[in-house]
């Protein structure tokens, strides 16, 4: 394996992190909360696809085609995201950040344990959604998963950037994250905008979950925890609240992770990734692209 | 007598009295032989959980910051003290002395790590502490699982990321202390409930005194309004760091109890990872954030209940998760808060009319 191969698979892993980090950063930007349950939405997305596509688990299910299963998975996660916001986070919109954080942890643990009760604790084999063979350019093998994750990642990121910049709802999201009260006075429906943010974030989480489980082909109730936390690191790395920051942070983190896996040590990867977080917070707490916010009394 | 005591002293006395009653009941039961082996095996772990919950309550309830790395500090305490005990097993023959030293070593190491983590993070505001402490817990677990320590006639050897056989030890006198993911086995055991209980009392006393001191008031003022506290000259970072490192110290002490109560010490998600940190948080939240009494009671109830009711075990974390969400919403949402206030208000009006009358007559007397 050459340096370039490692770099490419790093970018592939990084695009997955970026997709998850986008969900974190959008939700953080709009409601100033750390959605701990985001990682578990990834896991629910992967499990939904697994349940829909495998013929044995759900009685009477012949095993749906991959495209349909992906759609179902995205739909379920979107609904779940909106539901979580409505039930758990909306009543606490003006509460202290500690209360919101503990609630988010509760939701995360709830999702994990529900999955544990339904699917059991052992990991299930996950069939990759990518069915064509990889490429070989100049003696360098590129797996199909790498190509698909990078393509999907880039497409979604470009699409999301365009959506936020040019569509009415996207602008509303920016406005609400800037100032809720003022946005409401301008006739923006704050509640539906926040719901939309959660919906988009969770849909991205579903896509990320499917891609993640295609690269690492298994799924268990704990699947979402690690990529979730790492994507959060990516979001902080890029500057929490900043959408281009999440993309850059995610891809950089994926590259750092893969290169340290290749050249330093496989066992220490997680420690290195988290050390990056502590380093970033020490040197530049606002991240690469974050804005420094002044505090008003 | 009653009137000369302040409200906080009274509340502290109730806490100590509660501890005394618990101790007396347990001792009475064990002397009369009414304690099943299941329950007596739980006594030391429950003491450990009380220390963990009370010390986490200092960070969450008094300082107002969320730490998700409490299990990480516990891990530091457990491993450093176990290594200490293994190394000094032959040098210090008095068990109690060695255990006390191990407690100090474990606590000190955890506190040092608390300061190291706290310095970069506590300067920031917001939710960073939660995520950094979570990351710290994971880092500690990874490092500990890749660390190798062994002893031979040439001295103590330390290595990372190898294996014991690659360390070039003298075969005749080789003694493995820490073997990577296999952990530490053969730590001298101290399973005494009395010692563990004394540690609980010390923890509770130190933390209650801290809360009611000048320092404690400074810490609470930071929690209530950081900017106002800063503007009256309180050094926010210093006091935050102080509370955080004291909390880490006692987490380390709990780790010492754990490592000297388990023959084969290994770092997994269950005992030193995210799961453990969340469990401690559940104990704190369900006991009441900021209430030391609540933490003690919830530790006793929530740790012993699932062991006694085996069927409950499977649904335990699910129910805890739901309780966590419900508690937060009920306590923090203005609508639900008003609703419960109304219910309790009408209950109070219905029930203890007689008691209230008695009380008023008492006062007039």
pLDDT at A293: 61
pLDDT at B254: 96
Q: Is the pLDDT of residue B218 over 90?
A: yes
Q: Give Cβ neighbours of residue A94 (< 8 Å, ≥ 6 apart).
A: B334
* Comparison of pLDDT for A173 and B151, the residue scoring more: A173
- The reply to whether B283 falls in a domain is yes
B43-53 per-position pLDDT tens digit: 999 999 999 99
B333–A92 CB contact, under 8 Å: yes
- The reply to whether B59 falls in a domain is yes
- Chain A CB within 8 Å of residue B308 CB: no
Chains A, B: CB contacts under 8 A, how many?
Answer: 126
C-alpha B161 chain-centroid distance:
31
pLDDT at B80: 94
- Please tell me which residue of chain B has the smallest CA distance to A121: B314
pLDDT at B114: 93
Question: Which of A113, A275, A282 has its CB closest to that of B139?
Answer: A275
Task: From chain B, pick out residues whose CB is under 8 angstroms from the CB of A88.
Answer: 325, 329
- The reply to whether B259 falls in a domain is yes
Mean pLDDT of B236-260: 94
pLDDT band (50, 70, 90) for residue B209:
very high
- Chain B CB within 8 Å of residue A103 CB: yes
B88-120 per-position pLDDT tens digit: 888 888 888 999 999 999 999 999 999 998 888
- Chain A CB within 8 Å of residue B121 CB: yes
- The reply to whether B211 falls in a domain is yes
Q: Which of B127, B161, B226 to mutate to test the interface with A (most CBs of A within 10 A)?
A: B127
State the helix-helix crossing angle for B274-287 and B316-332, rounded to 10 degrees.
50
Ranges of residues in chain A with a pLDDT under 50 are none
pLDDT at A297: 55
Asked if the interface predicted TM-score (ipTM) of this complex is over 0.90, the answer is no
Task: From chain A, pick out residues whose CB is under 8 angstroms from the CB of B127.
Answer: 33-34, 97, 101
Average pLDDT, chain B: 85
* Comparison of pLDDT for B22 and B364, the residue scoring more: B22
- The reply to whether B155 falls in a domain is yes
- SS3 of A73-106: the string is HHHHHHHHHHHHHHHHHHHHCCCCHHHHHHHHHH
pLDDT band (50, 70, 90) for residue B363:
very low
pLDDT at A200: 94
- Please tell me which residue of chain A has the smallest CA distance to B116: A278
B142–A271 CB contact, under 8 Å: yes
Q: Is the pLDDT of residue B131 over 90?
A: no
pLDDT at B364: 43
- Chain B CB within 8 Å of residue A86 CB: no
- The reply to whether B198 falls in a domain is yes
Question: Which of B64, B123, B146 has its CB closest to that of A267?
Answer: B146
Separation of alpha carbons B364 and A72, rounded Å: 71
Task: From chain A, pick out residues whose CB is under 8 angstroms from the CB of B336.
Answer: 91
pLDDT band (50, 70, 90) for residue B198:
very high
pLDDT band (50, 70, 90) for residue B362:
very low
B155-160 sheet: strands from edge to edge: B155-160, B147-152, B175-179
Question: Which of B66, B135, B331 has its CB closest to that of A101?
Answer: B66
**B27-31 CB contacts, 8 Å cutoff, 24+ apart:** B30/B193
Domain that holds residue B138: 38-315
Mean pLDDT of B166-189: 80
**Distances from the Cα of A188 to the Cαs of A94, A162, A201, A202, in angstroms?**
19, 20, 20, 22
A278–B138 CB contact, under 8 Å: no
Mean pLDDT of B245-249: 95
Å between A97 CA and nearest CA of chain B: 8
A117–B314 CB contact, under 8 Å: yes
Q: Which of B142, B113, B122 is nearest to B66 (CA)?
A: B122
- Please tell me which residue of chain B has the smallest CA distance to A113: B318
A103–B328 CB contact, under 8 Å: yes
Beta strands in chain A (DSSP E): 124-125, 135-137, 140-142, 218-219
Domain count, chain B: 1
Separation of alpha carbons A23 and A67, rounded Å: 23
Å between B337 CA and nearest CA of chain A: 11
A107–B325 CB contact, under 8 Å: yes
pLDDT at B92: 81
- The reply to whether B291 falls in a domain is yes
B124–A232 CB contact, under 8 Å: no
pLDDT at B221: 94
Separation of alpha carbons B126 and A32, rounded Å: 9
Task: From chain A, pick out residues whose CB is under 8 angstroms from the CB of B315.
Answer: 117
- The reply to whether B131 falls in a domain is yes
Residue A285: CB atoms within 10 A of its CB come to 19
């Amino acid at each position: 394996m050459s340096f370039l191969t490692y770099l490419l698979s790093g970018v592939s892993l990084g695009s997955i992190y970026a997709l998850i980090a986008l969900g974190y950063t959008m939700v953080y930007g709009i409601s100033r909360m750390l959605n701990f349950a985001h990682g578990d939405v990834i896991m629910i997305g992967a499990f939904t696809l697994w349940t829909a596509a495998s013929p044995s688990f759900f009685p009477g299910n012949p095993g749906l085609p991959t495209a349909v299963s992906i759609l179902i998975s995205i739909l379920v996660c979107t609904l779940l995201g909106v539901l979580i916001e409505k039930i758990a986070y909306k009543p606490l919109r003006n509460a202290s950040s500690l209360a919101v954080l503990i609630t988010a942890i509760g939701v995360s643990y709830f999702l994990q344990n529900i999955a544990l009760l339904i699917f059991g604790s052992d990991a299930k084999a996950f069939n990759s959604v990518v069915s064509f063979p990889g490429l070989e350019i100049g003696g360098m093998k590129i797996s199909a998963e790498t190509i698909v994750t990078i393509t999907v990642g880039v497409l979604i990121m470009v699409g999301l950037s365009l959506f936020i910049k040019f569509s009415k709802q996207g602008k509303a999201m920016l406005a609400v994250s800037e100032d809720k009260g003022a946005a409401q006075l301008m006739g923006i429906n704050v509640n539906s905008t926040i719901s939309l943010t959660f919906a988009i974030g969770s849909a991205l989480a579903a896509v990320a979950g499917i891609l993640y489980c295609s690269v690492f082909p298994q799924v268990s109730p704990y699947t979402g925890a690690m990529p979730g936390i790492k994507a959060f690191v990516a979001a902080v790395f890029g500057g929490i609240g900043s959408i281009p920051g999440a993309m850059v942070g995610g891809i950089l983190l994926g590259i750092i992770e893969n290169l340290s896996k290749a050249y330093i040590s496989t066992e220490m990867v997680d420690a290195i990734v988290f050390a990056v977080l502590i380093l970033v917070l020490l040197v530049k707490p606002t991240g690469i692209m974050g804005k420094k916010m002044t505090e008003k009394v | 007598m009653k009137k000369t005591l302040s409200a906080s002293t009274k509340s502290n006395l109730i806490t100590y009295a509660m501890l005394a009653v618990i101790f007396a009941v347990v001792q009475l039961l064990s002397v009369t032989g009414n304690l099943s082996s299941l329950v007596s095996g739980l006594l030391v772990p429950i003491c450990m959980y009380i220390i963990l919950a009370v010390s986490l309550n200092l960070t969450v309830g008094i300082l107002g910051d969320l730490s998700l790395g409490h299990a990480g500090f516990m891990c530091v305490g457990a491993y450093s003290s176990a290594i200490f005990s293994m190394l000094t097993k032959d040098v210090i023959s008095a068990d109690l002395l060695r255990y006390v030293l191990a407690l100090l070593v474990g606590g000190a190491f955890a506190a040092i790590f608390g300061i190291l983590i706290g310095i970069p993070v506590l300067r920031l505001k917001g939710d960073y502490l939660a995520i950094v402490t979570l990351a710290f817990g994971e880092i500690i677990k990874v490092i500990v699982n890749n660390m190798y320590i062994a002893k031979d006639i040439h001295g103590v050897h330390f290595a990372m990321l190898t294996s014991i056989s690659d360390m070039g030890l003298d075969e005749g006198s080789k003694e493995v202390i820490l073997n990577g993911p296999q952990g530490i086995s053969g730590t001298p055991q101290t399973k005494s409930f009395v010692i563990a209980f004394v540690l609980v009392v010390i923890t509770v006393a130190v933390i209650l005194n801290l809360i009611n001191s000048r320092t404690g008031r400074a810490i609470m003022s930071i929690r209530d309004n950081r900017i106002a506290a800063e503007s009256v000259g309180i050094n926010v970072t210093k006091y935050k760091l102080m509370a955080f490192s004291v909390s880490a110290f006692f987490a380390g002490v709990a780790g010492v109890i754990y490592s000297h109560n388990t023959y084969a010490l290994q770092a997994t998600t269950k005992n030193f990872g995210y799961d453990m940190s969340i469990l401690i948080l559940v104990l704190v939240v369900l006991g009441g954030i900021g209430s030391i009494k609540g933490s003690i009671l919830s530790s006793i109830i929530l740790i012993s209940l699932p062991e006694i009711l085996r069927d409950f075990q499977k649904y335990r974390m699910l129910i805890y998760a739901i309780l966590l969400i419900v508690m937060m919403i009920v306590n923090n949402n203005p609508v639900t808060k008003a609703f419960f206030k109304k219910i309790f208000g009408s209950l109070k009006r219905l029930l203890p009319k007689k008691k209230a009358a008695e009380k008023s007559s008492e006062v007039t007397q």
